[in-house]
Structures are given as C-alpha cells and as structure tokens.
Structure 1
Amino acid sequence: MIEKRWIHNTEFTTEQQQVAQELAESLNVSLPLARLLVQRGIHDFEQSRLFFRPDLAHLHNPFLMKDMSLAVERIASAIANGEKILIYGDYDVDGTTSVALFYGFLKRIYANLDYYIPDRYEEGYGVSWQSIEWAKENGFKLIVTLDCGIKSVDKVTVAAERGIDFIICDHHRPGTELPPAVAVLDPKRNDCEYPYKELTGCGVGFKLLQAFCMQHDMDPQLLYNYLDLLVVSIASDIVPITGENRVLAYYGLQRLNAAPRTGIKALIQIAGLSGTLDITNVVFGLGPRINAAGRIKHAKEAVRLLLSERDEEAQEFAQEINRHNSERRNFDTSITEQALLMIENDDFFSDAKSTVLYKEDWHKGVIGIVASRCIEKYHRPTIILTQSHGKAAGSARSVPGFDVYEAIEECADLLEQYGGHTFAAGLTLPLQNVEAFRMRFNDIVSSRILPDQLVPMIHIDMPLELEAINPKFYNILRQMGPFGPGNMTPVFESRHVTLAGRPTLMKEKHIKFEVKQNDSDVFTAIGFGMSRFYPDLISGKPFSICYCLEENNFRDKKTLQLSLKDIKIH
C-alpha cells in the first residue's frame, strides 16, 4: 500500500484571517467554518447568501451559448412541419439521463419523435453509421445528439447528404473541425462565450430545452420537473459541482428526495438507499446501476426505466437492471484480479510510470472500472484494452494533475479513434499497434508526470480541534453542499489524538475505535480498508487522523462520527 501524502491548503494570509473573522461575526458561525468559506472564494455576506441559498434565477441565459438560436429555430420548424425527430444519446449515465430528460420533456408537447442509444459493442461510442441508416429508413429528418457527436464530422456530413439534419449537444472537447450540423452546442467550443464550461451532456440538452421554453413562453417549472435526471448526470459524470452545476444539483437533489420520477424511485428502492440522498449516494448507488444496462446488455433498458410512469413496470425494469449490475460486479472483480496479477508479474511495470494492459477476452463493459481499480493500487495513468470487432478498444483513467487525453492525443498516429476528458478517455487501435502504443504512451507519461503525481494525495482543508465539533457546526457544514469536484466535502486533520477504548476490527478489513483529544468529547472513528493500522494503534503509539465529518443514524439516534481518510502513526 502506497503511503498517502497529506497536502494542506495554503496558510491563511493576515488579510484572509481578517476576512474570515469578519465573516464569522456577520454570519454568526465559528471561525473554522468561516475559514472554509474563504477557502471556497466566499468573502462577504452577499456571496455567502448566494452560496448557501442557490437559486434557479441564477442560471445563465441559454442564448449566450453559440448556435442556441439556430438550434431552437430548427426544433420549432421540425415541430411546425410535423417532421420526425430522433433523440440520440450515449450509452452511459450522462447519455441515458440526457435522452430520458430531452425525450420525456419533448414528448409531452410533440408526438412524432423517438430515441436511439447505440449498442456499446456493435456500434461503439458516438454517432454510428448504423444509426444514420436506421434514421434514413425510418424517415427521420432531424437528429438531436446528447453527450456525443462533437467529433462525428464524417457521419454528420453523410447524413446531411441524405436529407437528415443534426443538432449536436455535447460537452467533450471538439476536434480541429466541427461537424457540419445545423447547430453545435458545446460550451468547450473555442468560439463559444457561454460563461460556464463544465455542463454535462445532459446539462447542455437542458439548456436547449430551457431556451425553447423561453422562446415559446412555456412555464419553466415543466422543465424543472426533470432536474432529478439532471443531478444524476452531474453526479455520475464527475463534473465540477460549481457555478451552474451547483444550482442544478442543489435543486435536482431536492427533487430526487421529495418527488423522484417513478423509474428513479424504483431504482432507489432496489439499491436499498434510505434517508436523505446526496451526491455520494447517486455516484455509488444509482449511477453504477444505470450504467450496468449498457455495459452488460443494452442502455435502452436504462432509458425505459427512467421514462417509466407505472410503478409495477418500473419495479420490473429496476430489478432487471439490478441483475445486470450484479453481473457487472462479478466481471469487475474477476478482471481486476487478472489485471493486478499481470502488473505484478511483468518486470516492465516495476519502473513504468503508466499501465497499459491488453487481454482479448476481457469484458468491454467494465474495463473503465478496472482501470480505476488499478489506479487505486498503483496510482499511475492506466489504460485497459480488450478486443472488439478485431480491434483493441480501451478505457483510460488518470491521476490528479495529469492530462491523460493529451498523452493519448500524442499517440494519434497509432490510433483509429479516441475522445474524452482530462481524467478519462476512450480509444480504439489496430491490434498490431498495442505494444508500440504501450511503449510510446509510457514514454510520454514518463517525460511529463511529476513525481508527486505518482503518490496518492489527501487534500486537507484545515487542522481542527475535536472540541470544535458539535451539532451546530455539523448542521452549517452540511448546508455547504452539494459536495463534489470543485466543492469537495471538507477534510479535517486532528493532531495527537488518543484512543478512548480498544480498537475493533470489522471483517478483518476495517477498523473502528473511540477517539478524543485533550478534554474533548469522545467520537467514534471508522476507517474502511484500514485494518493495517490496528497493530500500531493497540501498541499505544501517538497518532493523528484526517477525516470527514458525518452523521450516523442508528435506531433513530443521530450521532456525529469521523469517517477516516488516513491515519499517521508518530
């Protein structure tokens, strides 16, 4: 196990300390809480009000997005002329929630439309040739893509020749050439001045419908009813929960908890989730199940569930998706074990700065998950490849601070196609290029990655005395959510704490103990996967802990506990 580095946020300047002091007084909160707000760029009462009370009125005007007027006009013209519209989405969570949101909303005002999700294995990522043929055969005149299409220049060109228009709604980085669509909505376009760049694919689709509602004087609440779908996309696609995403996630979680749509309600029940759901519940409870449909069978099943309006039908769909998720877990566990063995048994990886593994019979649907599992142990950029249609198809994952997309882009001459983000990407290459790609990719990573990026980090917001923790502190802390990238759950460090009882091992993997600091109250601390610290703790050695604060609800009794991130034995 690689020892983690504890990275502390920079020391406060005298000016920042003064701002925090004034903020603590104006908000009537403790100084540590005020310091957390200052760290998040909040310096006065008004900024605090906007942070603690997000408002849908704070959403940007969708017409600020390049090509938005063209997109709205083309949809309006299709509806006016009775044209068939096809809603096309990717097979992951962002794509399927996008389709459910866009199709579900539009279906309420216009009947002549359908949706299409490509088969992960037969068609691959993005707009497929099969989908264009199918659209032509079935008389569609307009295709709206969601969470894909920004690099489908050749397909959109051919579709236009066949009388099919495209509106692209995407959030991935564009290539050097944009598709010749009627409208290309992507905040990451170099010529797009939209103020917020981190929307999901579902978020871009939402903005198009928001613009449509504005143009046609429709009640925006009709669209806001779909925010439970949008927050699932925001959480599962691991985008920053800042700015517009934070507003959408805030209200999406409210909808998810108060009145989720029938399909999501069934999914919540089958996942065994209870209490107030947050971003973490979505990421680990709902997202993997929605994803499992496309990984194991076909993502259309996920859309059917999300669009379902009858309880009995939704329960049936949710159970089927849950079975896919169980099957996915089995593949994930088995392939991860094989991948870790390959790393351990290959001398190349003893000095490598990256991991590229290929095995022809690995299940394509879980290789991205396997890449993440390998990073958990070896903490270096990782690509897992398997055979698909006579090619090597792979998923890449990265470590904080290293742009895996750029590294892959430098190997473009060895690839047939690629796309993605800074920390996650997909690629396809000829089988004969796998070894050359492995060597080139490792050379590129080795020349760029910093030694610190190869060591897992824990970012600590601030040192905290345990005596500062009480119910009021936690209640205000909780209101700083929704937490996620860009607004992470605060991590605290308490130094030189002592045991208040003998530690307990749970399932030989986890550790639980009571802890105090000087004259503080006693708190329960739980460390998942931290059984290795047990011998040092029972020996009585002094230690420090870093942790997040959480509420434990057991038999209707709520207590605050420390969810450990790491322990340092002194």
Structure 2
Amino acid sequence: MISKWNYLPLTTEQQKSGTELAEKYADCQPISELLVQRGITTQEEAEKFFHPSLKDMHSPFLMPDMDKAVNRLNKAMGSKERILIFGDYDVDGTTSVALVYKYLQNYYSNIDYYIPTRYDEGYGVSMRAIEEAAQQGVKLIIILDCGIKAIDEIKYAKSLGIDFIICDHHVPDEELPPAVAILNPKLENSTYPCQHLSGCGVGYKFMQAFSQSNGLGSAELENMLDLVAVSIAADIVPMVDENRIMTYWGLKRLNSNPNVGLRAIIKICQLSNRDITISDVIFKIGPRINASGRMQSGREAVELLVARDFSDAYQKAKAIDQYNRDRKELDKRITDEANAILESQDEKIQQRKSIVIYNKDWHKGIIGIVASRLTELYYKPSVVLTLSNGLATGSSRSVQGFDIYSAVESSRDILENFGGHTYAVGLSMKEENIPEFTRRFEKYVAEHILPTQLTPQLDIDAYLTFAEITPEFLSLLRKFNPFGPGNPKPVFCTRGVIDYGTSKLVGKHLEHIKLELVDNTSGKVFNGISFNMSRYFEHIHSRKPFDICYTIEEGKRTNHPHIQLQVKEIRITDV
C-alpha cells in the first residue's frame, strides 16, 4: 500500500525559537530541525534530551493516593500480613509483577504473586482469584496493569477483609473501585506530569515511593529498569518524559547486566554481544514474553523474570521460545482465514470504514495480533472476536490518530466488559450482540474518522543529501535514541538517487532489493534494503533516478560500525 508522503517544514516561529540550535548545529542543520520538531529549542534542552538523567524523574508522591498506598504497604509489612502481587498476563503485566515482587522480596518474605489464566479467568481480577487469596489468608493485594474497572470484584474482596492497591494506567470510568489507593496517572484528578506511564512504570513509581519513605536508597530499584524498559517498548506508550529516561537507563542495563530471565531470552534471541535496541525489545524479546500468556500461562513468564539461576532461566526461556513458534504458526493461519473472509465479502461491506470479524473457533491468545495485522493491511480500525467462556471476546486496533477507545465505549450498553487505550481496546459481549455492535461501531467510525486517517501517511522529518550523512550527523542522530511514539525514529527523504550499478534482487522469491546507491552530492556509496519492492528493480537497474524515504539503521559487521538505509518507500521521478 503506497503512502502519502508528508513533509511539514519548520514554521517561521519554529525557526525563530530554534535559532540557538541552528547556530549550535550550523554544520548539521537537519539535527536542529529534528530537535525543534520535538519541541526542543535551546542548547540546555538539547543537552537534557541527549543525556537523559534519572535526576529528572518526577517525585512519585506527585501521584494521587501515593501516600495512602505507601502507608498501607508499610502497615501490611509491619503487621506481617500476607501480600499478593497480582497482574495481567501480557508483557506489561508480567514485568510489573516481576519488578514489584522481586523488589519487595528483598525486605519481606510473606509475599506471593498471581497471574490469571487468559482462558479460564480472562482479563483482570476474578472472583475466583479473590476467593483463592482469602483462603490463603491474603490481606493486601497489589494489582498491576489492571483493576481500574474491577468495582464488583474489589467490593467482594473488601467484604472478605482484603484490601487492594491498584497500580494501573488504563482509562478509568467515572465510578472507581473501593480500593485503599488507586495509582493511575490518567485519573481525572491527577496532575502527575507523565500521564502515559506503562503499568510497570506505575509499579516502579510505587516502589520508588516505598523506597524513599523507608530510606532504602535508589540503586537496587534502578537495577530493575530493564524490566520497565521492556514494558514501555512492548506496550508502545509514548517515549517522552519519564518513559524515555527509564527506557534509556533500562536499555543500558539490558546491554550490561540484565535481569537473569531477560539474559536467558537475550541468548535465545541470539542477541548476546550485540547492542540491544528498542526494536529488538519490540520484535524479539517482548513477543516471547507475551507468548507465554497467549499460549499457556503468564505465570511462566513471571517465573522466568524472577529466576535467580541462569541455567533454570534458560530452560524456561526455551519453553517460552517454543510457545512463540507455535504462536507464529497460529497467527499466520488465523490471519489468512480472516483475509479470506474479508475478501469474500460483497463490495458494500468492503467499502465500510471499519472491520468487525468473528469466528468462534479462533485462538483467544492470537486475536490481538490478528487485529493489528488487519489494521496494517486494510488501514481501518479493526475488531477481531472469538468465543471464550460463553462470550464473544475480542481485541481492537486503530489507525494513526483515531481514538478506538471512544468508538468501543459508544456501545458500552451492549458490552459485558471493555478497557484499554486510544489505539487498542479489549472487549467482550454476548454473541447475539455482535450484529448490533458491528452496526454501531461502523456508524461511529464513519461519523468520526477523517479521510486522511483511512490512508497510510508517511511523515518525512527532513530532506537529506548523502553528503549530509557525515560521522558528526550520525553521532548526534544516535543520541535521539530510544525511539517510540512521541519520539519516532526520524524518516528522511533523499531525492534523485541512482543505482551504483551493483544493486540486486535478494530473498527466497527475489522479492527484496539490496541497494547500493549514490546521489549527485557525494561519491560515497550507501547500502540499503527495500523489502517487497522488487517491482521497482527494472527502473533502478536502468540507473534512472528515483526518490527514497528511509530510516538510518546502524550495526556492526566484523567489529566495524556500518549504516544501512532501511527504505520504507520508493517513488519514481518524472525526470
């Protein structure tokens, strides 16, 4: 699918406010442009951006209810109450549980953790889990990455003498559960500066407050930032403010002395002795942790992440890697089935602005991935449903700029449950309500989505000539890491490039092009790769000019750094 290429040059006002940067980076003008696009206009701000510091983290006590949460935890530990750490079965939930459990275990032994099963219990806290906790004498449950809508369940727990501290980051309803404390930067009354923490990030802030209140120092907790970095990357929360600081230092930890369980996954992924990037977390480490909860039990992921012995952790990582292989096979099969259904629909249905698709036999653990695949392929907000425990249960994914949470919420009266974020929502309903939900969802999307949101957009950050890709430029570009929403990897455009004469088709079916390119500003040859673009090879091979949009990827080959242009799209020029 060809995207519309967008480039918004700096406004006069932006240019004026970035004058100081333009002077600082006069020999590297694209760098100052990238900084100003991110709202950075002074040298002081640039230094803070390029060198994230843990000293710039916000006080955890700025979060509403933090005092209450710390006091209740201190009371529980002082009274030797049994504490249960409860979390969701995805990457964010399991890293959250692992972090809080491991940290508190250093100071307290009457503690355990619980991860619900996706298939028997479903998302969030269940009555069954509460009853089991009561039987074990639990008096305090710290719930992570879920719980913000568990009103009835927490009322029931309260009647059994169990208190809850909620650490969540999902959008709350007007009515809140009767917990002792609710830590959520998205609460209506919250003025916490970083609104978009991950669930693990909220858990980290809680432990930070606990540490400060007890004078425990910060080093031990900061050593667990690798878990927070994995959660931030996998949950795709904005890479700004505290999230960027925690990810920056978490990646340093991943690359030096990671958590034993993460070290085992790193070995399984063949990432040892390599510079682990945010992309490695998103595409290699995160999916393996997630596969445990998708295919079997998220508890296995926590067992891996709290492991102390590497050989034990490695065996657990091998099992989880097999789950990921199984997940990939299911993912492909179900995606193919979903595509076949959509392609067989009549033209009127295909012209809808949204996708809602249901198959009672699809694997519940895979439908979120399938929803993502359909959104990428058709560029429409997509909902994929299957049957689980008597309910049509599903996941939804959105296109850039469209709030799918509001779209799902508009049908809340016919839903049994729902929750999530702007771009991803989980939901369940009675099977008979699927047609009505489909009608309402399409109506809402059709009325609220913008035409531009239904077309892939490729935003260009800066135009570059090959002469501008200097060692100084690459050194500064490196400092923009880690990338993510709010700080995306810069996309560059170079016009009028030509084949050096050595580009060639590669891949099993010769579907990719290994590029060797030059432009008229530099004699240097730049290597690149363009996936699934073999249709352009004849033009490229004829050594006619064309334009490319790309990101710059760096790696090491035989211990020497090298760069490769990751070509996102090619445009044939008329000249």
Quick check: TM above 0.5?
A: yes
Structure 1 window deviating more from structure 2 (140-149 vs 521-530): it is 521-530
Q: Is 1:373 the equivalent of 2:373?
A: yes
Q: Is 1:297 the equivalent of 2:296?
A: yes
The one-letter code sitting in structure 2 at the alignment partner of 1:545 is I
What does residue 535 of structure 2 align with?
532
Contact kept, 8 Å, 2:25 with 2:31, in 1: the verdict is no
Output the CA distance in 2 between the equivalents of 1:49 and 1:28: 16
Q: How far does residue 36 in structure 1 lie from its aligned partner after superposition? A: 1.1
Contact kept, 8 Å, 1:510 with 1:528, in 2: the verdict is yes
The one-letter code sitting in structure 1 at the alignment partner of 2:64 is K
The DSSP-based 3-state class of the residue aligned with 2:366 is: helix
What does residue 47 of structure 1 align with?
45
Q: Is 1:559 the equivalent of 2:558?
A: no
Contact kept, 8 Å, 1:349 with 1:355, in 2: the verdict is no
Superimposed CA distance per residue, residues 47-89 of structure 1 (whole angstroms, 9 cap, x where no aligned partner): 1111111111111111111000000000000000000000000
Give TM-score, length-normalised by structure 1.
0.98
Q: How far does residue 14 in structure 1 lie from its aligned partner after superposition? A: 3.7
The DSSP-based 3-state class of the residue aligned with 2:365 is: helix
Contact kept, 8 Å, 1:27 with 1:45, in 2: the verdict is no
Output the CA distance in 2 between the equivalents of 1:503 and 1:342: 39
The one-letter code sitting in structure 2 at the alignment partner of 1:251 is W
Output the CA distance in 1 between the equivalents of 2:19 and 2:27: 10
Q: Matched residue pairs, number?
A: 568
Q: Is 1:548 the equivalent of 2:548?
A: no
What does residue 276 of structure 2 align with?
277
What does residue 413 of structure 2 align with?
413
Superimposed CA distance per residue, residues 180-222 of structure 1 (whole angstroms, 9 cap, x where no aligned partner): 0000110000011111101011111111111111111111111
- Unmatched segments (≥5 aa) in structure 1: none
What does residue 340 of structure 1 align with?
339
The one-letter code sitting in structure 2 at the alignment partner of 1:546 is C
Contact kept, 8 Å, 2:497 with 2:546, in 1: the verdict is yes
The one-letter code sitting in structure 2 at the alignment partner of 1:271 is C
Contact kept, 8 Å, 2:20 with 2:43, in 1: the verdict is no
Q: Is 1:312 the equivalent of 2:311?
A: yes
Q: How far does residue 539 in structure 1 lie from its aligned partner after superposition? A: 4.5
The one-letter code sitting in structure 2 at the alignment partner of 1:344 is E
Contact kept, 8 Å, 1:21 with 1:31, in 2: the verdict is no
The one-letter code sitting in structure 2 at the alignment partner of 1:510 is H
Output the CA distance in 1 between the equivalents of 2:555 and 2:161: 59
What does residue 191 of structure 2 align with?
193
Output the CA distance in 2 between the equivalents of 1:14 and 1:393: 50
What does residue 356 of structure 1 align with?
356
What does residue 467 of structure 2 align with?
467
Aligned residue among 237, 254, 257 for 2:255: 257
Contact kept, 8 Å, 1:267 with 1:286, in 2: the verdict is yes
Give TM-score, length-normalised by structure 2.
0.97
What does residue 164 of structure 2 align with?
166
Output the CA distance in 1 between the equivalents of 2:79 and 2:255: 39
Superimposed CA distance per residue, residues 386-434 of structure 1 (whole angstroms, 9 cap, x where no aligned partner): 1101211000000001111101111112211111111000000111111
Output the CA distance in 2 between the equivalents of 1:421 and 1:532: 38
The DSSP-based 3-state class of the residue aligned with 1:104 is: helix
The DSSP-based 3-state class of the residue aligned with 1:365 is: coil
Contact kept, 8 Å, 1:240 with 1:484, in 2: the verdict is yes
Aligned residue among 123, 148, 162 for 1:150: 148
Q: How far does residue 11 in structure 1 lie from its aligned partner after superposition? A: 2.0
Q: Is 1:501 the equivalent of 2:498?
A: no
Alpha carbons of structure 1 residues 510 and 11: separation in structure 2 relative to 1, 3 Å: same
Identity of aligned residues (%): 49
Superimposed CA distance per residue, residues 432-473 of structure 1 (whole angstroms, 9 cap, x where no aligned partner): 111221122112111111111111111110111111002221
Contact kept, 8 Å, 2:498 with 2:540, in 1: the verdict is no
Output the CA distance in 2 between the equivalents of 1:485 and 1:538: 36
What does residue 516 of structure 1 align with?
518
Output the CA distance in 2 between the equivalents of 1:498 and 1:101: 51
Output the CA distance in 2 between the equivalents of 1:184 and 1:20: 41
The DSSP-based 3-state class of the residue aligned with 1:483 is: coil
The one-letter code sitting in structure 1 at the alignment partner of 2:222 is Y
Output the CA distance in 1 between the equivalents of 2:566 and 2:112: 46
The one-letter code sitting in structure 1 at the alignment partner of 2:345 is D
What does residue 68 of structure 1 align with?
66
Output the CA distance in 1 between the equivalents of 2:322 and 2:407: 37
Contact kept, 8 Å, 1:524 with 1:562, in 2: the verdict is yes
Output the CA distance in 2 between the equivalents of 1:357 and 1:505: 37
Output the CA distance in 1 between the equivalents of 2:396 and 2:240: 25
Contact kept, 8 Å, 2:264 with 2:313, in 1: the verdict is yes
Contact kept, 8 Å, 1:548 with 1:562, in 2: the verdict is yes
The DSSP-based 3-state class of the residue aligned with 2:194 is: coil
What does residue 59 of structure 1 align with?
57
Q: How far does residue 553 in structure 1 lie from its aligned partner after superposition? A: 2.3
- Unmatched segments (≥5 aa) in structure 2: none
The one-letter code sitting in structure 2 at the alignment partner of 1:224 is E
The one-letter code sitting in structure 2 at the alignment partner of 1:527 is S
The one-letter code sitting in structure 2 at the alignment partner of 1:330 is E
What does residue 240 of structure 2 align with?
242
Q: Is 1:80 the equivalent of 2:78?
A: yes
Aligned residue among 95, 98, 114 for 1:97: 95
Contact kept, 8 Å, 2:83 with 2:141, in 1: the verdict is yes
Superimposed CA distance per residue, residues 206-263 of structure 1 (whole angstroms, 9 cap, x where no aligned partner): 1111111111111111111111111000100000010011111111111111100111
Contact kept, 8 Å, 2:384 with 2:396, in 1: the verdict is yes
The DSSP-based 3-state class of the residue aligned with 1:363 is: coil
The one-letter code sitting in structure 2 at the alignment partner of 1:443 is K
Q: How far does residue 536 in structure 1 lie from its aligned partner after superposition? A: 3.3
The one-letter code sitting in structure 2 at the alignment partner of 1:78 is A
Q: How far does residue 503 in structure 1 lie from its aligned partner after superposition? A: 3.0
What does residue 424 of structure 2 align with?
424
Contact kept, 8 Å, 2:165 with 2:179, in 1: the verdict is yes
The DSSP-based 3-state class of the residue aligned with 1:255 is: helix
Contact kept, 8 Å, 1:375 with 1:399, in 2: the verdict is yes
Output the CA distance in 1 between the equivalents of 2:521 and 2:309: 56
The DSSP-based 3-state class of the residue aligned with 1:364 is: coil
Contact kept, 8 Å, 1:415 with 1:427, in 2: the verdict is yes
Q: How far does residue 29 in structure 1 lie from its aligned partner after superposition? A: 5.5
Contact kept, 8 Å, 1:20 with 1:31, in 2: the verdict is no
Output the CA distance in 2 between the equivalents of 1:263 and 1:13: 48
Contact kept, 8 Å, 1:227 with 1:252, in 2: the verdict is yes
